[in-house]
Copies of this chain bind each other. A is one copy, B any other.
Amino acid sequence: MSAADVRVLAFDTFGTVTDWFSGISDAVRNAVPDVDAAEFAREWRRRYAPILARVESGELPWRGLDDLQRETLADVTRAFGISLDDTGAEYLLGAWRTIPGWPDSAPGLQRLKSGYTVCALSNGSVALLTAMAKHNGFGWDFIGGSDLWHHYKPAREVYCGLVELMECSPAEVMMVATHQHDLDAARSHGLRSAFIERPDEWGGAPKDDSGSPHNDFHASSLLDLADQLGV
């Protein structure tokens, strides 16, 4: 188990590098005062993976993340029995562009960048991820957004698409995420994997941070990962 061959680190963003729960629940609190903002944010997020999976299964044609999240937002507002006008909906959609990084993210990426090519590899769009990076001072070397490939993780095209753009072999790329299914998919295509613990991802609700023993690294933060990688 050596990291000597890894040249590129590919980071999941929502949850791994940024704290979507705080960002979205704060925005919900601003836009919809009379709702349980924490549960509203969680419920919106729970509908995220299933609708992306419907695109990947072919049930829905390719659509950008904002369009999909607009649809799941409408579902959640209905489920909570509230009404939200277009301005409110666009405000909440925009909040995904300015969700805060975890405290260790920007400094961790800065250290990791000294020894590796650090890339976002996310289901967000390039524009969303660019805005998120500028907001948080993430110094990505490259941003891999889902609109580059018109596919969503865990689709093969995303992982292998980045490997191709980086002009390297799969084993030279390590996926970094707080979601084991993302790491498992990456590993199934020959990438390496690093699990990052994010116990607060769901704002106090349970989060499985055990991580598979098959991962190459298991770290408590990006700074811990930088320590383990010796940069």
- Chain A residues engaging chain B, CB cutoff 8 angstroms: 113, 117, 125-127, 130, 133-134, 139, 141-143, 145, 147-148, 164-168
CB within 8 A of A165: which of B113, B126, B142? Answer: B126
What B residues does A148 contact at CB under 8 A? 148, 165
CB within 8 A of A117: which of B130, B139, B167? Answer: B130
CB within 8 A of A143: which of B113, B139, B142, B147? Answer: B142
Copies of this subunit: 2
What B residues does A167 contact at CB under 8 A? 125, 127
Smallest CB gap from A162: residue in B: B126
What B residues does A141 contact at CB under 8 A? 130, 133-134, 143
What B residues does A117 contact at CB under 8 A? 130, 134
- Inter-chain contact A145/B130, CB cutoff 8 Å: no
CB within 8 A of A166: which of B127, B165, B168? Answer: B127
Q: How far is the CB of A130 from chain B (nearest CB, A)?
A: 5
